[in-house]
Amino acid sequence: MLDGLTDFANSTGFAAFDWRNAIMLLVSFILIYLAIRKKFEPLLLLGIGFGILLANLPLTGLLNAPPESGQGVGGLLYYLGKGVSWAIYPPLIFLGIGALTDFSPLIANPKLFFMGAGAQLGIFVAIFLALALGFDLHEAGSIGIIGGADGPTAIYTTIMLCPDDPGLLGIIAICAYSYMALVPLIQPPIMRLLTTKKERTIVMEQARPVYRTELLVFPIFLTVLICLILPPAAPLIGMLMLGNLLRESGVTDRLAKTAGNELLNIVTIFLTVCVGAKMEAHAFLTPDTIKILLLGLIAFCVGIAGGILVAKFMNLFLKGNNKVNPLIGAAGVSAVPMAARVVHKEGLKYNPSNFLLPHAMGPNVAGVVGSATVAGVLLSLP
C-alpha cells in the first residue's frame, strides 16, 4: 500500500516541481493579471501567459516529441508549435493585419514614410549594443527587431535567424509584446521630452482624398518593389499586402472579413500559446534574459525617439501649414493602432481641437512595412 502511494506521489507534477517552475508560474500570473486587470494587450498577453503556465507544469507531456519508434504520439503543444518553428503563424497574422489596415493616410501623405523609417533606428542601435555585449550577429538581429514593436515580425525573424534556440524566441516574443502593451506608459514621456509645447499644438491640414485606383495599386506596387530588393521579406510583406488587397478590391469582402477576424483570431490563439510554451524555466532563467529585456526596452525607446526626431528634422524644410506635428513621429513604431491612439490623446492635452489620429496612422502603418523590410535586411545577412 505504502509503495503504491509512493509511486503515485512520484508520478505527479509535484514531485518534479522546483523553484524555477515557481518563478515561471509567477511570470505567467503577472502576464495574465496585466491582460485581465490592466487590459494590456489582452489578446496577446493572456495566451502567452497561459502558454508559460502550461510549459512549466512538470510531466504534462504537452511539449513532448513523438517517440522515435513511431509508436505513440507527441504532445498537443508540440504539434501546434510547428506553426511557430516552421514560420507559418507570423505571415498568417500579417495577412489578417493587412485585411484590417487602411493605407489611405500614408498614400495621401507619402512623406510620413520617413517617420516610419526613422522609428526603425532603435533596431540598429540595439543590434550594435547586443554585439558589444557578446551576442553573435544572428542573436543581435533577433534582439534588435524588438525595437520595431511588431510581435509577428520579431517572432518570424528570430525563428529564421536562430531556429535552434527556442529560449531566445520566448524571451524576444515576451519583450516585443510586453513593450507593445506598455506603449501608453512608455510613449508619452519620450514625446514630452523631445518636443516643445508649441510643437505639440501644431494643427495639420486634412489629408487629400485617396482614389480607389491608388488603394489597389499600392499593395501590388509595394510587394513587387520590396520583394525584388529584399526577397527574404516576401512572406511578411506578401501576406500583408495580400490581406490589404482583399480589403480594397471590393470583390472579396468575405475573404477580407475572414482574414481579419476568424483566421486572425484563430492564429493569434495558437501563436501566443505556443510562444508562451517556449518559455520553459531552464531556457528563460539565464543571465542573458536580463540583457535582452534591457536591450529590447532601449530599442523600443530609441525607435519612438527616432520617429519624433525625423519629424522635427522634416519641419526644418516645411513651411506654414505643411509642417507636421512631431508627436505623430512617435507612432512610427508598428504597434498598430495603439501607438497612433496614444499620440492622438497626447495631442488633445495641448490642443483640444487637434485631431491627430488620421495623421498618426500614416507613420503607424509605415512602421509595419518598415519593420518587415528591416527583417528582410537582417535575414539577408550571412
Tens of pLDDT, residue by residue over 91-112, are 999 999 999 999 999 999 999 9
Quick: pLDDT tens for 231-267.
999 999 999 999 999 999 999 999 999 999 999 999 9
Count other Cβ atoms within 10 Å, centred on residue 136: 12
Count other Cβ atoms within 10 Å, centred on residue 289: 18
pLDDT score at 167: 77
**Cβ atoms 306, 337 nearer than 8 A:** no
- Taking only Cα atoms into account, the Rg of the chain, rounded to an integer number of angstroms, comes to 22
- Determine if the peptide bond prior to 337 is cis (ω within 30°): yes
Cell digits of residue 198: 508649441
17/376: higher pLDDT: 376
Distance in angstroms (rounded) separating the CA atoms of residues 46 and 231: 34
- Assign 206 a pLDDT band (cuts: 50, 70, 90): confident
**Cβ atoms 211, 68 nearer than 8 A:** no
**Which are the contacts of 111, defined by CB distance < 8 A and separation ≥ 6?**
314, 324
Distance in angstroms (rounded) separating the CA atoms of residues 19 and 27: 13
Average pLDDT in the 65-70 region?
Answer: 81
Q: How far is CA 37 from CA 49, 185, 256, 342, in A?
A: 13, 16, 32, 20
Residue 211: phi and psi, rounded to 5, are -85, 155
pLDDT score at 353: 86
Mean pLDDT score of the chain: 91
Count other Cβ atoms within 10 Å, centred on residue 29: 13
Quick: pLDDT tens for 294-322.
999 999 999 999 999 999 999 999 887 78
Query: How far out from the chain centre does Cα 251 lie?
Result: 30
Quick: pLDDT tens for 213-237.
999 999 999 999 999 999 999 999 9
Distance in angstroms (rounded) separating the CA atoms of residues 89 and 79: 13
